[in-house]
């Protein structure tokens, strides 16, 4: 699902150094040549420590976002209005779980264990996309999340298919195909609701009002306030800036809102002939940072649900390990 710029500082207090590494000048030079040629870095290749740390942070935050992102919509599986909508929603939520698993695997290739990453999430130290710390109040929220949240995630994630780190880039190719289905199912559900009763139309508009600004914030702080972005661009991890992605999202969404028949809740939203883009109003960054830092409406609930699910799944992991040990013992016996 999505990302904000999936790379906000975590609670460890550590910052990623911005200067290029001097760990090994010859290896660094070879790395730079490959990055400059737009080549891929693979797990077995030498890479500067800061590049590795940045990727672990970004990919694990992305993975956590996929997993926590299952929760707001998972709440609606048992209350979907029809069998068809329930089947679609189950498939979507399951896809998000799959995205999380690909991404944990991609991060593991950088030498960080899944247990370490999960410990970071469960302790509240690691971040995930702040969009999932808001409640899903009505069925229309499920449609709006698909349309806008998954739509914003696609904008963010398509450029990541060209990320310089091979395993992350390859994971993103499949993830983006699935995100496209998520966006379409959400938009289609809303189109149907907008042909319904006045109450249904009002429900869609209300959900759009509540989610619009939070979706714009998903792209992360303005470029001027994103000190790590330049290094991410230099390394070929980040290809398009936060503000550029946000602008692309606004420009793509305005005509979709028109077709749907909803109003985007921004009086300053208008076409700017000179720029060839839509202008839009001020994002509330205080609210964004409050939510990122644990004080959004659902942060505690999401984390508690996630930790509970992990604890209750312990027996599954124990059983899988016991089975693997049994199989290994059997093959050793057979080989003897």
Instruction: Give the tokens for residue 52.
Output: 């590795």
CB 244 within 8 A of CB 302: no
In the complex, what is the shortest distance from the CB of residue 54 to Fe ion, in angstroms, rounded to a whole number?
21
Instruction: Give the tokens for residue 105.
Output: 């695997």
Judged by beta carbon, residue 73 or residue 108, the one nearer Fe ion is 73
Judged by beta carbon, residue 41 or residue 149, the one nearer Fe ion is 149
Please name the residue that has the structure tokens 């720029």.
275
In the complex, what is the shortest distance from the CB of residue 220 to Fe ion, in angstroms, rounded to a whole number?
17
Judged by beta carbon, residue 48 or residue 74, the one nearer Fe ion is 74
Judged by beta carbon, residue 56 or residue 176, the one nearer Fe ion is 176
Judged by beta carbon, residue 41 or residue 103, the one nearer Fe ion is 103
In the complex, what is the shortest distance from the CB of residue 75 to Fe ion, in angstroms, rounded to a whole number?
16
Judged by beta carbon, residue 96 or residue 108, the one nearer Fe ion is 96
Q: What is the 3 state secondary structure string of the chain?
A: CCCCCCCCCCCCCCCCCCCCCCCCHHHHHHHHHHHHCCCCECCCCCCCHHHHHHHHHHHHHHHHHHHHCHHHHHCCHHHCCCHHHHHHHHHHHHHHHHHHHHHHHHHHCCCCCHHHHHHHHHCCCCCCCHHHHCCCCCHHHHHHHHHHHHHHHHHHHCHHHHCCEHHHHHHHHHHHHHHHHHHHHHHHHHHHHCCCCHHHHHHHHHHHHHHHHHHHHCCCCCHHHCCCHHHHHHCCCCCCCHHHHHHHHHHHHHHHHHHHCCCCCCCCCEEECCCCEEECCCCCHHHHHHHHHHHCCCHHHHHHHHHHHHHHCHHHHHHHHHHHHHHHHHHHHHHC
In the complex, what is the shortest distance from the CB of residue 181 to Fe ion, in angstroms, rounded to a whole number?
8
**Cα–Cα distance measured from residue 55 to residue 42, given in angstroms and rounded to the nearest whole number:** 12
Q: Which residues contact 100 (CB under 8 A, 6 or more apart)?
A: 63, 64, 66, 67, 70
In the complex, what is the shortest distance from the CB of residue 222 to Fe ion, in angstroms, rounded to a whole number?
25
Judged by beta carbon, residue 157 or residue 299, the one nearer Fe ion is 157
In the complex, what is the shortest distance from the CB of residue 25 to Fe ion, in angstroms, rounded to a whole number?
40
**Cα–Cα distance measured from residue 61 to residue 11, given in angstroms and rounded to the nearest whole number:** 12
Where does this chain bind Fe ion (CB under 5 A)? Answer: 1, 66, 96, 99, 150, 179, 182
**Cα–Cα distance measured from residue 53 to residue 59, given in angstroms and rounded to the nearest whole number:** 10
In the complex, what is the shortest distance from the CB of residue 145 to Fe ion, in angstroms, rounded to a whole number?
9
What is the number of residues in the chain? Answer: 336
Judged by beta carbon, residue 182 or residue 210, the one nearer Fe ion is 182
In the complex, what is the shortest distance from the CB of residue 165 to Fe ion, in angstroms, rounded to a whole number?
18
Judged by beta carbon, residue 118 or residue 152, the one nearer Fe ion is 152
Instruction: Give the tokens for residue 208.
Output: 């759009």
In the complex, what is the shortest distance from the CB of residue 127 to Fe ion, in angstroms, rounded to a whole number?
16
């Amino acid at each position: 699902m999505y990302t904000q710029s999936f790379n906000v500082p975590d609670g460890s207090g550590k910052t990623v150094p911005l200067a290029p590494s001097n760990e090994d000048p010859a290896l660094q030079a070879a790395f730079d040549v490959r990055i400059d040629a737009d080549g891929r870095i693979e797990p077995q290749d030498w890479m500067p420590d800061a590049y590795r740390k940045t990727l672990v942070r970004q990919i694990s935050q992305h993975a956590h976002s996929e997993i926590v992102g299952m929760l707001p919509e998972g709440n609606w599986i048992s209350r979907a209005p029809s069998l068809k909508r329930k089947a679609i929603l189950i498939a979507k939520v399951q896809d998000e779980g799959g995205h999380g698993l690909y991404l944990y695997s991609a991060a593991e290739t950088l030498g960080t264990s899944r247990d370490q990453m999960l410990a970071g999430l469960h302790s509240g130290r690691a971040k995930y996309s702040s969009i999932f710390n808001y409640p899903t109040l009505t069925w229309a929220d499920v449609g709006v999340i698909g349309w806008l949240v998954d739509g914003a995630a696609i904008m963010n994630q398509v450029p990541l298919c060209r990320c310089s780190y091979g395993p992350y880039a390859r994971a993103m190719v499949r993830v983006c195909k699935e995100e496209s289905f998520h966006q379409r199912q959400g938009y289609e559900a809303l189109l149907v609701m907008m042909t319904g009763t006045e109450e249904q139309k009002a429900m869609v508009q209300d959900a759009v009002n509540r989610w619009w600004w939070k979706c714009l914030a998903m792209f992360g702080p303005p470029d001027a306030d994103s000190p790590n972005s330049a290094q991410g661009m230099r390394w070929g991890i980040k290809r398009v800036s936060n503000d550029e992605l946000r602008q692309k999202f606004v420009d793509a969404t305005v005509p979709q809102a028109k077709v749907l028949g909803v109003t985007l809740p921004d009086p300053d939203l208008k076409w700017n002939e000179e720029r060839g883009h839509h202008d839009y109003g001020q994002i509330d960054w205080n609210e964004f940072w409050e939510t990122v830092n644990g004080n959004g409406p659902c942060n505690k609930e999401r984390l508690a649900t996630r930790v509970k699910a992990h604890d209750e799944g312990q027996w599954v992991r124990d059983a899988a390990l016991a089975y693997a040990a049994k199989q290994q013992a059997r093959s050793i016996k057979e080989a003897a």
